[in-house]
Amino acid sequence: MVKKIWLLNNGTFNIDKSILISGRGMGKVLRIGVYSVLIETDKGYMLIDTGLNPNGIEAPEGTWGKLAKVIAPRFEDEDIIIKSLYNLKVNPEQITHVINTHMHFDHTGGHQFFKHATFIVQKAEYRFAMNPDSHWSASYMKDHYDFNLNYELVEGDCELFPGIDLLFTPGHSPGHQSILITLEDGRRFIIAGDAINTLENMDRKLPSGQCWDEQTAILSLHKLMTISRLTGSVIVPSHEPDPTFYHTLRETLSKS
């Protein structure tokens, strides 16, 4: 069972609002956060996503190429994922599994620290990430994840462990997945990944403006909202620009 979860900061970067929400706010630049989720179970610790690559602190263009000037990533020292873990008195070696919502650069930057772990990825996402179509390749930085890692590929919805269910939510990327977490006290949270970037995506029922397949992304958005309604789960979007949401979420999680 899942005992506790924590939301970890992984830095921030700039993005045009229309990339977060299809057809909305073109030309309006937002600074958004990047987050990982630490899960404590009765069998050990797991992570959902590993955030931005901290190598970019000293070598931004060497890490992210020309994209570095566009998104202007920013880290505080404590945003480095292994330091976030140490602050919680968790050693990186204690992480047994890393669940990837998908394999874009802002979700795989810390993979380098968990070479001992098992990485859980949808088969469709892994295949595409290893050989992406050229017009989508900028978001997939293979040096973040294409090295000697232990990948376990899954297909579709499934229970990974008691209290951790994988929900297949393609559209933003070919093999995107979200994660339904059920705490031992009965509370439920859906870690949406980029299937839902912001609260506004839900309010307007609009997908991301950066979609591999927009129609599929809309179906995935509605799937998560339906599951949330039926199970009483709190949906956690990936890049909500209003930090108040995450402050409130952290207060809620601290009560577990």
For position 147, which CATH number holds?
Answer: 3.60.15.10
Q: pTM for this structure? A: 0.96
Helices (H), the chain: 17-20, 60-64, 67-71, 81-87, 105-108, 123-130, 199-204, 214-231, 243-253
Dihedral pair phi/psi, residue 11, rounded to 5° = 95, -175
Buried b (16+ CB within 10 A) or exposed e, 81-110: bbebbeeeebebeebebbbbbbbbbbbbbb
pLDDT tens column, 156-209: 999 999 999 999 999 999 999 999 999 999 999 999 999 999 999 999 999 999
Q: In which residue ranges of the chain is pLDDT below 70?
A: 256
Q: CA–CA separation, 75 vs 53, rounded Å? A: 10
CA distance 211 to 29: 19
Structural domain tally of the chain? Answer: 1
β-bridge mates for residue 151, sequence order: 119
* Residue range(s) defining the domain that contains residue 211: 2-253
pLDDT at 77: 85
Nearest to 109 by CA among 90, 67, 81, 150: 81
211 CB-near residues (< 8 Å, 6+ apart)? 22, 171, 172, 217
The pLDDT value recorded for residue 256 is 58
% helix / strand / coil in the chain, to the nearest 5?
A: 35, 30, 35
Give the pLDDT score at 79: 92
Going by their DSSP bridges, the two strands 164-168 and 158-161 should be labelled as antiparallel
The pLDDT value given to residue 136: 84
**Residues with Cβ < 8 Å from 62, sequence gap 6 or more?**
55
Report the alpha-carbon distance of residue 61 to residue 32 in Å, rounded.
20
